[in-house]
């Protein structure tokens, strides 16, 4: 997800996107820990970066939640 697309979201939508992406990251880490080699290693990196992008926009707006 691009940062420009994140900036266009409302505060509630942004917080929901953050929760969704964090859950996806958690699920990927669980799969990796269980030895599921079918997941692409690059997918984990991309999701981590998406989390960072969302967190950056949340911090820039000063949203707490």
- Contact call for residues 44 and 32 (beta carbons, < 8 A): yes
Global pTM reads: 0.84
Domain 3-61, CATH class in plain words:
mainly alpha
Please give the C-alpha separations between residue 31 and each of 2, 8, 20, 41, in angstroms, as whole numbers: 26, 32, 17, 11
Exposure string for 28-39, b = 16+ CB within 10 A, e = fewer: beeeeeeeeeee
User: Domain residue spans in the chain?
Assistant: 3-61
pLDDT tens-digit readout, 10-63 = 999 999 999 999 999 999 999 888 887 666 888 999 999 999 999 999 999 998
pLDDT value at position 37?
Answer: 64
Q: Give dist(CA 54, CA 22) in Å, integer.
A: 10
């Amino acid at each position: 997800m691009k940062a420009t697309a994140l900036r266009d979201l409302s505060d509630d939508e942004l917080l929901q996107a953050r929760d969704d992406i964090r859950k996806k990251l958690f699920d990927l880490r669980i799969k990796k820990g269980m030895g599921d080699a079918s997941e692409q290693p690059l997918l984990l990196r991309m999701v981590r970066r998406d989390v960072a992008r969302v967190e950056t926009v949340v911090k820039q707006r000063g949203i707490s939640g």
